[in-house]
Amino acid sequence: MNSIMKAFLVCAVGTLVSCRNPALDFGSPNTATSDSAGGSIARQTGITSELVIPTGQHVVTRPLALESNQRVRCERGATLIASAGIGVFHVLGKQNVVIEDCRIVGQGARDGYSSPDESLVVVGDFNGQKSQRVWLSNLSIAEVRGQAGLKIFNSDDVFAQNILVDRYSYAGVQILGQSNNVTLSESYVRHSLARSAPHNYMGVPAPGGYAYGVQVSGHRFQNSVAFPDNVVVSGTVCMDNRTWDCFDAHGGTNLQFLGNSAIDSLKCFDLNSSETGDGPLKYVRVAGNTCVGTEVNVGPSSYSEGILVGGYNETAEPMVEAEYILIENNYIENAAKVKATKRAGINVQYAKNIVVRNNTLVDLGGMGISFASSVRNLAVTGNNIYDAAAVGIYLGPGASEPVNFDGNTVHSYSGSTHTGLSIHADNEDLVLRHGSERYCVRTPIRDGGADASPINLLSCD
C-alpha cells in the first residue's frame, strides 16, 4: 500500500476537519503505484495507479494534482472538504484520468463570487495545460463558492456522467475555451444562490445576478478567443436558477442539448452570442428538452424566456449570425412570465438556416415563437401553441427568403391587439401552408393593432 493511501486510512479514524497531515496537503506530485486492483484496471483501461479515499471526512488543504493514467475512487461515506478558496481535484495537462464515486463539499455558496475562490473540480486551464481522455462519474459537489462545481477548460475527450452540483454561487458546470468532444450526461444542477451581489473574475468586476446551471463558452486570452467544439449535454436537470440561464452557450460549433430539463428557471436555454467578443454558434441542435419557467421575480435581468438561439448585431461590429440551428420536439411551459420584458417560448434572432419543428408551448407570458430580427432560410413546421399572452408566431422585420410556415397551430392567445400569426417582413418569398392549401404572401402584412386590416393571402398558383 502506498504512502498516500496509508495516510488516508489514518485520517479516516479522525472526525470532521480534524485531519491535516502532509498527505492531504498534496503539495508534491502524487506517487501512487499500482497494486493488484490497479493492475486489473490497467488491463482494461490503461490505468496504472489507483488512489482509494476511504470512508470518513477529510479536509483538503491543497488541490490533489492527478497524474496521467490514474484513477481516484472514493469509498462509500467518504467526503472531501475543501479549505477556504481552493479546489479539490486538478487534472492539468494529463491524459487518461478517472475520478469517480466522490462527495466534495466547498466552503458555502453565496450571492456573488470572486476569482480567488477556485472551482472544486478542474480539468485543464487557460495556460495551455490541456487534458485528454478524462472520465468523471458519480460525483456529488455541494456548496460551491468559486466559479464552478466542475470546470472543463481547453480539454479534449472528457466524459462526465451522474454529476450532482447542489448550491452554487456562479455556475454548476462549465465547458470553456477550446474544449473538444465533451459530454455531460444524466446530471443534476440545482439551487443557484446568485441574486444581486457583484462578481469579480480575474480582477474584472461584473454586475450581480449572473448564474449558469451549465455554461458552454469561449474564453478570451491574449486578444484571441477559443471556442468549444462537439459538445453534448444530455439527460441533465437544472433546477431553481431564477436569476439567469439554466443552459447557456456563448459561442461554439456542433453543440447538442438533448433531453434535458430546466425547471423553475428564468431563462431555460440561452444559446446566444449576445455581445462583442462572443463567438458564433454553428450547428446547434436543441431537441427533446423540457422547459418550465419561474414566476419568482428575483435578480437583475430585465427579461425572461424559454429557448433563445441567435447571434448579435453591435453598432461598431459586423453582425454575427448563428447558423444551422435545429429546435425540435421540446416542451415549454410557464415561460416568459416575469420581468419587464416577457419575450417568448422560443426566440430566434440574427440567424440563418433554421428549422423549428414539432415543439409544444403552453401557458406563456409573452409570445409563442418569435423571429424578431434578421433571420434567413427559415422553416417552421408542426408546432402547437396553447395560451400565449401575446402573438402566437411572430416574424419581425429583416426576415429574408425563403421563409416557410407549415402545419403550425396556435390554439389560443389573449389580448385585443394580439393575433395568432403576426408578420412584419417585406418578403417576396414567404410561403404559408395550412392543410393541403398553399399560400404565398407577396406584400408586407401588419395584422397587429386595433386598426389593422385582415390578412389577405394570395394563392401561389
Residue 441, pLDDT score: 44
The tens place of each residue's pLDDT in the chain, 461 residues long, gives 333 333 333 333 222 222 322 233 333 223 333 233 333 333 346 888 999 999 999 999 999 999 999 999 999 999 999 887 788 999 999 999 999 999 999 876 555 555 555 788 999 976 777 899 999 999 999 888 777 889 999 999 999 999 999 888 788 899 988 899 999 999 999 877 654 555 555 455 555 557 789 999 876 544 556 789 999 999 999 987 766 788 999 889 999 999 999 988 888 999 987 665 567 799 999 999 999 987 666 655 556 788 999 887 765 566 788 999 999 999 999 887 665 456 789 999 889 999 999 999 998 888 889 887 788 888 888 898 888 777 788 887 766 667 788 778 887 666 544 556 666 655 555 555 544 444 444 333 333 333 333 344 443 44
- Pairing relationship of beta strands 322-328 and 430-434 according to DSSP bridges: unpaired
Global pTM?
0.82
Residue 216, pLDDT score: 92
C-alpha cell at 427: 418578403
Q: Rounded CA gap, 406 and 210, in Å?
A: 38
Omega prior to 402 cis, within 30 of 0: yes
Residue 208, pLDDT score: 55
Residue 357, pLDDT score: 95
- HEC string of the chain equals CCHHHHHHHHHHCCCCCCCCCHHHCCCCCCCCCCCHHHHHHHHHHCCCEEEEECCEEEEECCCEECCCCEEEEECCCEEEEECCCCCCEEECCCEEEEEEEEEEECCCCCCCCECCCCCCEEECCCCCCCCEEEEEEEEEEEEECCCEEEEEECCEEEEEEEEEEEEECCEEEEEECCCEEEEEECCEEEEECCCCCCEEECCEEECCCCCEEEEEECEEECCEEECCEEEEEECCEEEEEEEEEEEEEECEEEEEEECCEEEEEEEEEEEECCCECECCEEEEEEECCEEEECCCCCCCCCEEEEEEEECECCCCCCCECEEEEEEECCEEECCCCCCCEECEEEEEECEEEEEEECCEEEEECCEEEEECCCEEEEEEECCEEEEECCCCEEECCCCEEEEEEECCEECCECCCCCCCEEECCCCCCEEEEECCEEEEECCCCCCCCCCCCCCCCEECC
